[in-house]
Each structure stands twice: as structure tokens, then as C-alpha cells.
Chains A and B, each alone.
Chain A
Amino acid sequence: MSRLPPGLEPDPVIEAYKKDVDRTLLRENLKLTVEQRFERLFELQRFAEELRRAGREAWGRGTDR
């Protein structure tokens, strides 16, 4: 049975999505400090930006797939 913050009732749509949440990632994050969580986010953001740049270089900005 789902546990929720006080005052909230289970929402069937959210419960359906919750089944697919990768809790292993959450458990790993919960081992980190708040600052370490942000450092990982900013690393990921830099990586995503580099992927976008590489994608633009490879395929251009237009309709080339």
C-alpha cells in the first residue's frame, strides 16, 4: 500500500507511474549529501550540453536525420 505525506490521498495515475520509478537511482542519491547531488546534476547538465553540441555538429540544426 502506498504511503504519502499527511493530507494527500493516492492518485491512481501517479500510482501507475510510480511503478516505473527507478528506486535504485533514488537510493544511490539518498546516500549523497545535498551538495553532492547538485554537483552530479551540474555534471550531467554539462554532459547533456556537450551531447547537444556534438549532435548539432553531426546532424546540423535542420531536418537532417
Chain B
Amino acid sequence: MSDDFPRLLRSLTEAGVRFILIGGMAGIAHGSARLTVDLDIVYARDPENVKLLADVLAPFHPYLRGAPPGLPFIWDAETIRRGLNFTLTTDLGPLDVLGEIAGGTFSDLLPASRAVKLFGIECICLNLDTLIQVKRAAGRPKDIEAIAELEALWEEKERSKD
């Protein structure tokens, strides 16, 4: 099956999963020109949301990305509760499901997020200032080009206000 991120986002949203779009896809929402190939979300860790997340993704066969096939990996609420951050393959595309990032948890990031309308659904997306801050805080060399582009975007947006 080929990637279908709109369907993945729609499935999460329609099931009522509480999550924030971060990473490269959030960058796209803000105007980034970088090609990204996975979806990164920060999810709320309360038991109800964890159960929703487990149930909605299960039909799409989540599996640990990069792990050898055949590991006894069970995607359910208990696995999510015992873990925190998961880098997954799914039938609809690569998905990073994160309970906490350098900028904090879902609750920490929610005030720095805003609803965006996509394909007829409403997703919560991290704002540009905070996206830059969390990418900087992560301190990963591979993010440097992306941060430079996000900061350039920020400057362009500021310039257009002047």
C-alpha cells in the first residue's frame, strides 16, 4: 500500500485522538519547501486518549520502524502506556507517535498550537516559533538545515508584516 497521510490524519481526527502535528509536516503547514516522508505527532498520554490511539491505528498494522520482521510487537494501549515515543511503519505511511519531545508533552505544547484545516478536517499544529524552539532543543545535527529554513520562513513572515 502506498502512503496515504490524508487518510491517516483523517482517521486520527475522526476517532477523536488528541494530538499535535509537529516536525516536517508542521513545517509544511507553515510554508516549508522541504520534502518530508513521515508524519510526527505528539499525543496526549491520558488513558482514554492512549486507548483511542491504539484502536484507531491497529487496523493499519503499526510496527517498529527499522526492526526486523517477526518481533513480538503488540500495538495496544498497554504497549503505549509502557512506552513513550514510537517510530512506526503503518499501512498508510511512516508515523512517529511521541509522548514527549524536547519542548514538552501534549499539554505543554497545546498552548503553542493552533487548529489548521486540511482535507476537510481540523488538525492541531504547532506554531512556527515553538517548532523552531523544539527543533533547536532537540540538538540533532540532521535538523540544522531544517531549522535554518524555518528561521528563514519566520523572517519572511515578519518581513511581510512590516
- Of the residues B25, B29, B33, contact of A26 by C-beta under 8 Å: B33
Q: Is A57 an interface residue when CB atoms closer than 8 A count as contact?
A: no
Q: A41-B36, A42-B5 are in contact. Are A23 and B145 (CB under 8 A)?
A: no
The minimal Cβ–Cβ distance linking B27 to chain A, given in whole angstroms, is 10
A interface majority secondary structure: helix
Shortest C-beta distance, A25 to chain B (Å), equals: 4
Chain A residue with the shortest CB-CB distance to B155: A3
Q: How far is the CA of A64 from the CA of B147 in the complex (A)?
A: 35
Contact B154 A4 (CB under 8 A): yes
Q: How many residues of B contact A (CB 8 A)?
A: 36
- B129 contacts A by Cβ under 8 Å: yes
Beyond A26-B152, A30-B157: 17 further Cβ-contacts under 8 Å? Answer: A3-B155, A4-B151, A4-B154, A14-B148, A17-B148, A18-B148, A23-B152, A25-B33, A26-B149, A26-B156, A30-B153, A30-B156, A34-B29, A38-B25, A41-B28, A42-B6, A46-B2
**How big is chain A's contact interface, by range?**
20 to 34
Instruction: Considering the complex, give the chain A residue whose CB is closest to the CB of B154.
Output: A5
Instruction: Describe B's contact surface by its main secondary structure.
Output: helix
Cβ contact within 8 Å between A7 and B133: yes
Q: Whole-angstrom distance between the alpha carbons of A7 and B154 in the complex?
A: 14
**In angstroms, how far is the closest chain B Cβ from the Cβ of A60?**
21
- The 7 A-B residue pairs whose C-beta atoms are closest, nearest first, are A17-B148, A5-B129, A25-B33, A29-B31, A21-B152, A18-B148, A30-B31
**Chain B hits for A4, CB < 8 A:** 132, 151, 154
A31 to B78, CA, bound (A): 44
Within 8 A of B (CB), among A6-29: 6-8, 11, 13-15, 17-18, 20-23, 25-27, 29
